[in-house]
Amino acid sequence: MARLITLASGQFGDLSLEELCKLAAEMGYEGLELATHAHFDVQKALNDANYIPYVKDMLAKHGLRCVAISAHLTGQCVGDLWDERLDNFAPAQLAGKPEAIRSWAIAEMKDTARAAKAFGVSVVNGFTGSPIWARWYSYPQTSEEMIEQGFQLIYDLWSPIFDVFDECGIRFALEVHPSEIAFDYYSAKRLLEKFQYRNALGFNYDPSHLVWQGVNEVAFVREFAEHIYHVHMKDVKLLNNELAGILGSFLPFGDGRRKWNFVSLGHGNTDFDGIIRELNAAGYAGPLSVEWEDSGMDRVFGAKESCEYVKKLNFSASKIAFDSALTNK
């Protein structure tokens, strides 16, 4: 199965689109997953007749394709309870204005669906935010009512957004991730149930966020096979520091004292072979998008190596049983 191998652009936001296209092609990538905070301007896509042709021409010039865009920062502002960190994700003039930030994010996510349709992609990846993430540990006690209220708020905020996604024929792929309303298997299942398995909502599967939590990354694919709309290829390494816990200890990414760190593909503990086999069984034909994050490795070296790693793993399921010839004729 020749899945497209793409590079998530968000971690390369310091480069222009032209610079990134050139670099991605040189590293061997076949496409880009364009981030709306970095390389795909939603409002220009909707209001500047020259913008989408410019982006498409730039991609084509370097032999690249784009089949999904990502709007993680915008989506986070929809469902989160405000603190000053969200000011970095919204227009500067909205800083310190929680309701204004949320209103902007809701409108921007609707426009993101419209821009995706105009651009010709069918999937928008992103986050939903969570009004109850800070209550994940039940002390002070978190009641079931509090949890349900959190899921209900996400339902109320995102349902009108998904209405626009449906109108545009676009699907939203939530990245199951700590700080989101869905961060592991059970919370992901609860979210799908809350939305009554609405087709507009599925998952951007990123195994790295599951592995360090102790969630089986291969089983997740098996359980949610029909709801995986996009795949991030990202690795995580579990470290042996007996003094550290999985919550990070307020140590920065890359610090060797942590219990785990995101690492370049193939340098961690993620079972990518098992993942590919389950994706094959699920019939997943979408892209494999490298989201490169490794504080301890040169970015270009790591992203190039990761592309080569994914190419070796991008195999199809067998069309015959390996022992089918072991019969008397």
Number of domains, the chain: 1
Q: Is residue 144 part of a domain?
A: yes
Question: Of 32, 118, 27, 15, whose CA–CA distance to 68 is shortest?
Answer: 32
Q: Is residue 82 part of a domain?
A: yes
Q: Is residue 259 part of a domain?
A: no
Q: Is residue 327 part of a domain?
A: no
User: What are 98-153's pLDDT values in tens digits?
Assistant: 999 999 999 999 999 999 999 999 999 999 999 999 999 999 999 999 999 999 99
Residue 153's domain is classified under what CATH number? Answer: 3.20.20.150
Q: Is residue 254 part of a domain?
A: no
Domain span at 140: 5-237+271-313
Mark out the alpha helices in the chain (DSSP H runs). Answer: 17-27, 42-47, 51-61, 72-79, 98-119, 144-168, 185-194, 208-211, 217-223, 272-282, 299-313
User: What are 169-190's pLDDT values in tens digits?
Assistant: 999 999 999 999 999 999 999 9
pLDDT bracket for residue 323 (50, 70, 90)? low
How much is the average pLDDT of 243-264? Answer: 97
Q: Is residue 193 part of a domain?
A: yes
- For residue 317, what pLDDT is reported? 85
CB proximity list for 316: less than 8 A, separation 6 or greater = 1, 2, 280
Q: Is residue 265 part of a domain?
A: no
Q: What is the dihedral of CA 95, 100, 105, 108, to 10 degrees?
A: -110
User: What are 60-107's pLDDT values in tens digits?
Assistant: 999 999 999 999 999 999 999 999 999 999 999 999 999 999 999 999
- For residue 293, what pLDDT is reported? 97
Please give the model's pTM, rounded to 2 decimal places: 0.96
CA atoms of 231 and 34, how far apart (whole Å): 14
Find the distance separating the first CA and the last CA of the chain, reported in whole Å: 31
In one letter, which amino acid is 258?
A: R
pLDDT bracket for residue 328 (50, 70, 90)? low
- For residue 319, what pLDDT is reported? 79
